[in-house]
C-alpha cells in the first residue's frame, strides 16, 4: 500500500505517460512507426489515469457506506447489547474495518491532493495496514474457535478461559501496530526491500489463509454432515459467510502483494492493484450487511429493531432452542455424561 502512495504521484503527474524521447533518441529519423507507438502510449496512459480515478472514486463511495454500517455495529455492540465473548470479536472486527475504511479514504484523498510527507505516508499506511491485519487475525481466531467448539465441545466448554476474547483482541492490535510500523519504517527510511520482514509477512499470510480455509471447510463439513445438525445456527452461518467473503475479496490483493514483495518484476501502479484494493474495501463494508441479512433471515415479517436483528445473527443458543422447540439451557446448568444430577459440568460462564 505504501508503494501505491509512492508510485502513483509520479504516474499521475506524468500527463503524457511516455515522453517522445523514450521512443526516439534523435540520432535517426523519426519514423511513422515510432510516432504511432508514441501516440498509442499516450492514449494508453491517459486511459489508465482516468480508469484509476474512477476506481478510486468507487473506493471512496463504498468506504463511506462501509463506515456507516460498521459504525452502527460498533454503536450497538458497544452501548446497546450485552457484551459476550463472541460479540467481543465482532466488536473489534467492526472497529478494524471502520479504521481501515477511514484511512483508505485518507490515503485516496492525499493521493489526489499530493501534499503529504514521507512520515505522513508511513503513519497512514501503517494504521491502514494494521487494521487490515487485525481483521485477518480476528476472523482467523473466530473461525478457529468455532471449529474447536464443534469438534471438541466438552473440552472447549470446560477449558476456554473466561477472558480469552479480550486478551486475543488486545494482543492482535498491539502486535499488528508494532509489526506494521516497523515494516513501514524499514521501507521508508532504511531499505526499500526489507527482505527479512517481507519473508516473515509472506509466511504469515500463507499460514493465515491456510488456517482460515481449513477451519472454514472443517466447520462447514462438521455442521452440515455431522450427527448434531441442530448446531447449524445463525452464528455458524454468519461465520461461514464472513470467511467466504474474506477469501474471495481479499485473497487477490494478498497474492499480488506477496508476489510484489518477492521482487518479481510487477508494476505496483498498474490498474490491477486498484481493483484489488476496491475488493478489500468491499469486504470491509460487507460484514454489517451479512450480520443484518442473517439476522433477518426466516424471521417474521414486520419492523424489527436493529439491535434485535444483530443479536439474532450472533446468538448461538437462541436459534438452537428454536430448532428444538424449547428454552435455551444455561451453560452452568448443563450436565455432562458421567456427572450426577444437579452438578454443573464446569465453571466456565463463557458463551458458545
Is the pLDDT at 124 greater than 60? The verdict is yes
Is the pLDDT at 43 greater than 70? The verdict is no
Is the pLDDT at 324 greater than 70? The verdict is no
For residue 133 the three cell numbers come to 491485519
What average pLDDT does this structure show over 244-264?
A: 75
Burial of 195 (0-12, 13-18, 19+ CB in 10 A): exposed
What average pLDDT does this structure show over 52-67?
A: 89
Q: Could you tell me the pLDDT band of residue 262, with boundaries at 50, 70 and 90?
A: low
User: CA 172 to CA 182: how far, in whole Å?
Assistant: 15
Is the pLDDT at 74 greater than 80? The verdict is yes
What average pLDDT does this structure show over 253-281?
A: 70
Domain 2-16+34-321 superfamily per CATH: Rhodopsin 7-helix transmembrane proteins (1.20.1070.10)
| Domain boundaries of the chain, sorted by first residue | 2-16+34-321
Q: Could you tell me the pLDDT band of residue 263, with boundaries at 50, 70 and 90?
A: low
What average pLDDT does this structure show over 109-116?
A: 70
What average pLDDT does this structure show over 65-87?
A: 86
Is the pLDDT at 155 greater than 70? The verdict is yes
pLDDT at residue 5 in the model: 46
pLDDT at residue 301 in the model: 63
- Please give the share of the chain, as a percent, with pLDDT higher than 90: 11
CB 86 within 8 A of CB 314: yes
CB 235 within 8 A of CB 315: yes
Greatest alpha-carbon pair distance for the chain in Å reads: 99
pLDDT digits (tens, 9 = 90+) for 168-205: 999 999 988 888 877 777 776 666 667 777 777 777 88
Distance of CA 79 to the CA centre of its chain: 24
| CA-based torsion, 209, 214, 217, 223: positive or negative | negative
What average pLDDT does this structure show over 218-239?
A: 69
Is the pLDDT at 325 greater than 50? The verdict is no
Q: Could you tell me the pLDDT band of residue 33, with boundaries at 50, 70 and 90?
A: low
What average pLDDT does this structure show over 53-79?
A: 89
Of 76-85, 228-237, 321-330, 342-351, which has the strongest mean pLDDT? 76-85
Residues ≥6 apart with Cβ < 8 Å to 315: 233, 234, 235
Of the listed ranges 86-100, 101-115, 301-315, 316-330, the one predicted with least confidence: 316-330
**What values do phi and psi take at 284, rounded to 5?**
-70, -30
pLDDT digits (tens, 9 = 90+) for 17-26: 444 344 444 4
Amino acid at each position: 500500500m505504501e508503494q501505491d502512495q509512492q508510485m502513483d504521484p509520479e504516474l499521475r503527474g506524468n500527463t503524457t505517460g511516455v515522453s517522445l524521447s523514450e521512443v526516439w533518441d534523435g540520432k535517426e529519423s523519426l519514423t511513422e512507426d515510432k510516432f504511432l507507438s508514441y501516440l498509442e502510449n499516450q492514449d494508453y496512459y491517459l486511459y489508465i489515469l482516468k480508469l484509476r480515478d474512477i476506481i478510486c472514486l468507487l473506493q471512496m463511495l463504498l468506504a463511506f457506506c462501509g463506515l456507516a454500517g460498521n459504525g452502527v455495529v460498533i454503536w450497538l455492540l458497544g452501548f446497546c447489547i450485552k457484551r459476550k465473548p463472541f460479540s467481543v470479536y465482532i466488536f473489534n472486527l467492526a472497529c478494524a474495518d471502520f479504521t481501515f475504511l477511514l484511512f483508505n479514504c485518507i490515503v485516496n484523498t492525499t493521493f489526489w491532493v499530493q501534499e503529504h510527507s514521507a512520515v505522513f505516508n508511513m503513519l497512514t499506511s501503517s494504521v491502514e495496514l494494521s487494521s487490515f491485519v487485525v481483521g485477518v487475525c480476528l476472523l482467523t481466531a473466530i473461525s478457529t474457535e468455532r471449529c474447536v467448539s464443534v469438534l471438541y465441545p466438552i473440552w472447549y466448554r470446560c477449558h476456554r478461559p473466561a477472558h480469552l476474547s479480550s486478551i486475543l483482541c488486545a494482543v492482535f492490535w498491539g502486535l499488528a501496530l508494532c509489526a506494521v510500523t516497523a515494516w513501514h519504517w524499514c521501507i521508508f527510511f532504511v531499505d526499500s526491500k526489507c527482505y527479512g520482514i517481507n519473508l516473515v509477512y509472506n509466511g504469515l499470510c500463507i499460514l493465515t489463509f491456510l488456517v482460515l480455509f481449513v477451519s472454514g471447510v472443517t466447520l462447514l463439513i462438521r455442521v452440515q454432515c455431522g450427527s448434531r445438525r441442530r448446531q447449524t445456527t445463525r452464528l455458524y452461518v454468519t461465520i461461514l459467510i464472513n470467511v467466504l467473503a474474506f477469501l474471495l475479496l481479499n485473497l487477490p490483493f494478498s497474492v499480488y502483494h506477496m508476489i510484489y514483495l518477492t521482487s518479481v518484476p510487477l508494476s505496483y501502479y498498474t490498474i490491477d492493484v486498484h481493483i484489488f484494493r476496491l475488493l478489500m474495501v468491499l469486504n470491509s463494508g460487507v460484514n454489517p450487511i451479512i450480520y443484518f441479512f442473517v439476522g433477518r433471515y426466516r424471521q417474521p415479517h414486520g419492523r424489527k429493531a436493529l439491535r434485535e436483528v444483530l443479536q439474532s445473527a450472533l446468538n448461538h443458543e437462541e436459534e438452537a432452542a428454536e430448532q428444538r422447540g424449547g428454552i435455551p439451557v444455561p451453560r452452568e446448568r448443563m450436565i455432562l455424561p458421567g456427572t450426577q444430577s444437579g452438578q454443573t459440568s464446569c465453571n466456565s460462564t463463557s458463551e458458545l
